[in-house]
Amino acid sequence: MKNYTSINDIDNINNWIAEAKTLKESPLKDIELGKNKTLGLLFFNSSLRTRLSTQKAALNLGMNPIVMNVSGDAWGIEFGDGTVMNGNTAEHIKEAAAVVSQYCDIIAVRAFPSLTDKVKDESEYVLNAFKKHASVPVVNMESATGHPLQGLTDAITISEHAKTKKPKVVLSWAPHIKALPHAVANSFTQAMQKMDVEFVIANPEGYNLSPEITGDTPIIHDQNEAFKDADFVYVKNWSSYDDYGKVLNTDPNWMITKEKLGDAKFMHCLPVRRNLIVEDAVLDSDSSLVIEQANNRTYAAQLVLKKILKNL
């Protein structure tokens, strides 16, 4: 594998899950593989889990991680072609990516969407510019439209906790005060579509994800109906896709409660706002898998880095 930028880069999800589970059992077994190799992590946005678990994964493989907060700490990067750079950007992605490629064997990038310009966001211009102008492999640590390290993590976690051969998995929208990206929901949807699960999405009217992502997956506007007989309820807020980036609804009735959850397991990528997205009683109960999900971020990243290292 050269780059890992989308769930579509996973050739066989069941094999990947099995391999991630073996890494989890003996995380240091490939400690020689990444010796003298450098992973550069570039953050255009905040992070706790991705920033730490991806470094931990690199360390488990014997790699040397180096981290930079691009926004604020680096020079403003210009992505436009042929731009007269007389504004706020001081260096072009052509130089920046070429320079970073000399210091790193793999570059990992986090760059969220604007949520104001759908066409520009969907062009994935930051991630694709790194892919184009870097001479080393690129890993997506959450881009405008996808969070494939999270999607892989969630597939691993569901596989670990499934009690039946074909569990029912619900992706549910929940309220939030801010406009949030679609990336986590998109990659979770794509991961579930590759797994042998009964998968449905629950969201209010006006909140359907991109039809290119949802495809044949049933979309249900009644949350209680969607939750019936669910084994896993994966919760995430996202802003409207059709009315791009808008917050149309903050209906507290969509918040996840213990009563609504029933016997299902609760999942969320974190960070999560308590008593807005989900009530304390759920997060503080055995029904919550959120801490285990965060743990699996390390093994998802380690599997991805291992596959890229083997191909260098």
Residue 203 binding: pick among ligand SUO, ligand CP, none (C-beta 5-8 Å cut-off by kind):
none
Contacting residue, 47, 128, 193, 208, with ligand CP by CB under 6 A: 47
Rounded to whole angstroms, how far apart are CA atoms 283 and 281?
Answer: 6
Helices (H) and strands (E) in the chain, counts: 13, 11
**Cβ of residue 110: shortest distance to ligand CP, in angstroms?**
8
Contact flag: residue 269 with ligand CP (CB under 6 A): yes
Give all strands (DSSP E) within 9-112, no chain letters. Answer: 38-43, 64-69, 77-78, 91-92, 106-110
What is the identity of the amino acid at 283? Answer: L
Q: Is 204 annotated as a binding residue?
A: no
| Residue nearer to ligand CP on the CB measure, 140 or 214 | 140
Contact flag: residue 184 with ligand SUO (CB under 6 A): yes
| Residue nearer to ligand SUO on the CB measure, 188 or 199 | 188
Contact flag: residue 52 with ligand SUO (CB under 6 A): no
Question: Hey, which residues does 107 pair with through a beta bridge?
Answer: 40, 138
Contacting residue, 78, 105, 121, 142, with ligand SUO by CB under 6 A: 142
Where would I find the H helices in 112-257? 118-122, 125-133, 148-161, 183-194, 211-214, 223-227
Closest residue to ligand CP: CB criterion: 50
Stretch that binds ligand CP, among 9-17, 92-100, 248-256, 266-274 (CB under 6 A): 266-274
Rounded to whole angstroms, how far apart are CA atoms 59 and 247?
Answer: 40
Within residues 105-164, the interface with ligand CP by CB under 6 A covers: 142, 150
Rounded to whole angstroms, how far apart are CA atoms 111 and 223?
Answer: 31
Residue 42 parent element (H or E): strand 38-43
Contact flag: residue 271 with ligand SUO (CB under 6 A): yes
Rounded to whole angstroms, how far apart are CA atoms 293 and 284?
Answer: 15
Stretch that binds ligand SUO, among 18-26, 68-76, 129-137, 267-275 (CB under 6 A): 267-275
Strands 106-110 and 38-43, by their bridges, are parallel
* Residues of this chain that bind ligand SUO (CB under 6 A): 142, 178, 180-181, 183-184, 269, 271, 273
Binding site for N(2)-succinyl-L-ornithine, by residue number, is 142, 176, 236, 273
